[in-house]
Every structure is written in C-alpha cells, then in structure tokens.
C-alpha cells in the first residue's frame, strides 16, 4: 500500500499544482546541509513577478532563519507568502 503523504507535502503539492495551472513557473527548493538556512520551500515566477512561498502545517511556525529570510526578501520588494492550509485565499495576495 502506498505511504500516505504528510500534511506539509499535501499542502505544498496543492499550492504547486494551483500555481502551475495559473501559468506560474514554480521551483521547489531542496533543503539540506549545503543550502541557505531559512530559504522558502517554493519560488514562483510569472510576468516579471517573483513570489517566495513557505509552506507550514496549521500549527507550524517560522524558524528564526526563516524570519530573517522573509525580512530580507520583503525588504527587496518581493512577495513572501506563508501558506499553512489548502485554501486559495492566499492567491488573492498575488493579484490584490
């Protein structure tokens, strides 16, 4: 029997699929010992706009490194989204 995906993976996959359906180019960032600490899970690009997306479960919180990354990214005028549920209300942020 296939292993059930954890909630984090389910949310991430739903966000990727939704964005790709709306013609965003989505890159999943592999975290590991040689990566940048705090970097977002996904980067989405469309028509010159870049959005950095962190996926959490409903009870998940940003780490200190993720808070610094969010501050740096936002400080450079980029979008940073924290998504913690399978819901499309966050998508309104991209189109205001």
Is the pLDDT score of 2 beyond 90?
A: no
Q: How far apart are CA 7 and CA 63, in angstroms?
A: 18
Second CATH level (architecture) for the domain 7-88: 3-Layer(aba) Sandwich (3.40)
Q: How many C-beta atoms surround the C-beta of residue 58 within 10 A? A: 8
Residue-wise pLDDT tens digits, 6-31: 989 989 998 999 899 989 999 999 87
Question: Which positions ≥6 away from 94 have C-beta within 8 Å?
Answer: 49, 51, 79
Beta strands at 49-55 and 42-46: parallel, antiparallel or unpaired: antiparallel
pLDDT digits (tens, 9 = 90+) for 49-93: 999 999 999 899 999 999 999 999 999 999 999 998 766 666 666
Question: Model's pTM, two decimal places?
Answer: 0.84
Any idea how long the chain is?
96
Domain spans in the chain, listed from the N-terminal domain onward: 7-88
How far apart, in whole angstroms, are the C-alpha atoms of residue 68 and residue 86? 25
């Amino acid at each position: 029997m296939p292993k059930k995906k954890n909630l984090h993976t389910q949310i991430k996959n739903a966000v990727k699929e939704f964005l790709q359906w709306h013609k965003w180019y989505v890159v999943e960032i592999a975290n590991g010992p040689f990566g940048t600490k705090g970097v977002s899970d996904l980067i989405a690009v469309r028509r010159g706009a870049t959005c950095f997306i962190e996926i959490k479960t409903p009870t998940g919180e940003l780490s200190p490194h993720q808070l610094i990354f969010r501050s740096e990214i936002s400080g450079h005028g980029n979008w940073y989204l924290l998504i913690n549920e399978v819901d499309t209300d966050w998508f309104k942020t991209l189109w205001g």
